């Protein structure tokens, strides 16, 4: 018996830490395959976004007969958590773990939240719609359960994306960041497109049972993909685990962060630009259908044109950024492309030229792609190594809030104008033109802020030439570097620190 036990134990011993979820050493160069695997978390985020904003939006209104206002409130709920992204990022920066982990615990918790939300969501929605005997149940059960499900998914998305991006930033060196940002955006877009097509196909024909299968399937896929994405990504760090020091309060960390070069200016640019590009999302298709009389299939292809423009934007941005062009410069180009894009879209209505509209849509996608890539890369690059989570949390908080408000505002403006008593006598483009004009105004404001930034910090727009290949930026061992970048007197920046000039 004893020998059996011994041999069994010896067998187990050979397994060793191969089956534990951490990378044993911090490797110098992370291969593309590993980054590709990590980017799977963006697929789950994209899938969740499509499910909330697209698929379930439709199912709740059309199939379940839930009032549209209630649906709107439910879908807007996850937005409540968006500003907390900065806090989540800060928490992960300062997380204390025996393993020296900072990111994995948060991504794991976020995944559990997302999973939990999707697991109860179909039942919550069925109760909400009064399915079967739920009609006799008190109404608050359905309301609170559905709200809880949406909140859980929202909190999960925000956590996973913020900390996931922080982990990606941790793993790669500065000159590889554009590649990672491109990868993350492309995977998000692919996740959204794939999920939209697959969910649409699976829910046809709709039955309550099918709804449960699809949403719970999404929950399982979320956990599976995120586990694959996380496995052996973040190295174990005994030095960090042993280095127990007092961490700064959130307020102090935030103060340190906003002291950084143009941190606030960049956030303002992100907010304005995201509002500018984001508002069109929900009104482009009805504009094409109602004003330009495009068929349903043609308006769907419009979304494809927008996405293709975005993909092209990501590709171009990755390429030029790898050649050393400053990220803010790329964002600047994106904003400038957005101006004629929305001008073309506005002009297409009265002129009734579909081609102009399609070109405008493609350009809007291209501009949004360049802008998004440029601003995220700029955020990553500007982030002090010890505050990566906080910086990306701030980016996400601003970006997600602005995008949510933009989409909501776009829809509301259109609906309000279309509901005016004078609406029937107005031209068909009347409800849409103000939306596009407002986007144009936001983009002009973005340009203005960028010009002001350029005026103040010319270095922000400078192209960097990676003459000699740089090593990985050193890993932070203490919370505050001996000479934090943001405290260095400006004008005396060391020439070897290309991160500064690259910014």
Partner 1 sequence: MSNDPDKVWPTGLTLKEAEEVHSYLIDGTRVFGAIALLAHVLVAVSTPWLG
Site string for partner 1, 93-112 (x = CB under 8 A): ----xxx-----x--xx--x
- Contact of 330 with 370, CB cutoff 8 Å: yes
Residue 220 binding partner 1, by CB under 8 A: no
Q: Give the nearest distance from C-beta 114 to partner 1 in angstroms.
A: 11
DSSP string, 165-223: HHHHHHHS-GGGHHHHHHHHHHHHHHHHHHHHHHHHHHTSS--HHHHHHHHHHHHHHHH
Asked if 25 touches partner 1 (CB under 8 A), the answer is: no
Quote the CA–CA distance of 79 and 83 in Å, as a whole number: 8
| Under rule CB under 8 A, residue 158 binds partner 1 | no
Return the range that interacts with partner 1 (CB under 8 A); candidates 13-21, 246-254, 268-276, 357-365: 13-21
| 8 A C-beta contact, residue 348 and residue 292 | yes
126 binds partner 1 (CB under 8 A): yes
B/e letters for 2-24, b = 16+ CB within 10 Å, e = fewer, are eeeeeeeeeeeeeeeeeeebbbe
- Residue 368 tokens read as 């949004």
Interface with partner 1, residue 127, by CB under 8 A: yes
d(CA 131, CA 135): 6
Please tell me whether residue 139 binds partner 1 under the rule CB under 8 A. no
Contacts of 308 (CB under 8 A, 6+ apart): 362, 365
9 binds partner 1 (CB under 8 A): yes
What is the rounded CA–CA span in Å between residue 198 and residue 458? 47
Any contact of residue 120 with partner 1 (CB under 8 A)? yes
Q: Which of 124, 218, 325, 394 binds partner 1 (CB under 8 A)?
A: 124
Find the shortest distance in angstroms from Cβ 104 to partner 1. 9
Tell which one of 50, 119, 160, 453 touches partner 1 (CB under 8 A): 119
Helix axes 139-171, 177-202, angle to 10 degrees: 150
Minimum CB distance to partner 1 smaller for 21 or for 411? 21
Q: Answer for the pair 349, 433: CB distance below 8 angstroms, yes or no.
A: yes
- Which of 85, 91, 158, 236 is the binder for partner 1 (CB under 8 A)? 236
Residue 141 binds partner 1, judged by CB under 8 A? yes
Residues making up the chain, counted from first to last = 503
- Closest contact distance (angstroms) between CB of 227 and partner 1 is 11
CB of 43 to partner 1, least distance (A): 21
Residue 96: both structure tokens together: 């204390």
| Smallest separation (angstroms) from partner 1 to the CB of 19 | 9
Nearer to partner 1, 242 or 458 (CB): 242
| 145 touches partner 1 (CB under 8 A) | yes
Q: Is 343 in the site for partner 1 (CB under 8 A)?
A: no
Nearest to 127 by CA among 50, 49, 60: 60
| Interface contacts to partner 1, rule CB under 8 A | 9, 12-17, 20-21, 97-99, 105, 108-109, 112, 115-116, 119-120, 123-124, 126-127, 131-134, 137, 141, 145, 148, 236, 241
């Amino acid at each position: 018996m004893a020998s059996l036990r011994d041999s069994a134990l010896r067998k187990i011993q050979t397994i060793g830490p191969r089956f534990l979820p951490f990378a044993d050493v911090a490797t110098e160069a992370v291969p593309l395959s590993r980054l590709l695997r990590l980017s799977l978390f963006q697929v789950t985020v994209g899938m969740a976004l499509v499910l909330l904003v697209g698929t379930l939006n439709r199912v709740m209104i059309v199939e379940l007969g839930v009032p549209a206002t209630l649906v709107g409130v439910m879908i807007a709920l996850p937005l409540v958590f968006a500003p907390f992204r900065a806090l989540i990022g800060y928490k992960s920066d300062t997380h204390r773990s025996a393993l020296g982990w900072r990111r994995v615990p948060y991504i794991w918790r976020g995944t559990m939240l997302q999973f939990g939300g999707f697991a109860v969501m179909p039942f919550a929605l069925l109760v909400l719609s009064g399915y079967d005997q739920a009609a006799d149940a008190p109404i608050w059960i359905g309301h609170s359960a559905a709200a809880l499900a949406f909140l859980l998914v929202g909190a999960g998305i925000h956590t996973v994306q913020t900390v996931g991006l922080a982990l990606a930033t941790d793993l790669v060196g500065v000159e590889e960041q554009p590649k990672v940002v491109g990868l993350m955006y492309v995977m998000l877009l692919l996740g959204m497109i794939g999920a939209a097509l697959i969910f649409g196909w699976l829910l046809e024909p709709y039955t309550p049972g099918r709804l449960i299968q699809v949403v719970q399937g999404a929950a399982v896929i979320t956990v599976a993909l995120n586990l694959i994405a996380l496995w052996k990504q973040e190295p174990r760090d005994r030095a960090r685990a042993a280095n127990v020091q007092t961490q700064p309060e959130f307020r102090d960390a935030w103060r340190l962060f906003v002291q950084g070069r143009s941190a606030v200016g960049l956030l303002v640019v992100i907010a304005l630009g995201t509002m500018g590009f984001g508002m069109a999302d929900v009104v482009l298709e009805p504009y094409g259908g109602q004003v330009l009389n495009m068929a349903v299939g043609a308006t769907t292809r419009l979304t494809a044109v927008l996405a293709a423009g975005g993909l092209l934007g990501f590709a171009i941005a990755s390429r030029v950024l790898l050649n050393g062009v400053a990220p803010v410069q790329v964002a600047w180009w994106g904003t400038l492309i957005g101006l004629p894009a929305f001008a073309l879209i506005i002009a297409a209505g009265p002129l009734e030229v579909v081609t102009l509209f399609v070109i405008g849509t493609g350009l809007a996608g291209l501009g949004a792609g360049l802008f998004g890539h440029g601003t995220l890369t700029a955020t990553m690059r500007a982030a002090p190594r010890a505050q990566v989570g906080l910086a990306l949390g701030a980016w996400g908080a601003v970006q997600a809030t602005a995008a949510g408000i933009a989409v909501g505002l776009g829809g509301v403006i259109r609906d309000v104008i279309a509901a005016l008593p004078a609406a029937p006598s107005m031209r068909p483009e009347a409800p849409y033109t103000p939306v596009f004009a407002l986007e144009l105004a936001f983009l002009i404001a973005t340009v203005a802020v960028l010009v002001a930034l350029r005026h103040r910090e010319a270095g922000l727009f400078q192209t960097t030439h990676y003459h000699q290949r740089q090593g990985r930026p050193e890993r932070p061992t203490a919370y505050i570097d001996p000479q934090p970048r943001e405290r260095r007197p400006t004008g005396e920046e060391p020439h070897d620190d290309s991160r500064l000039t690259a910014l």
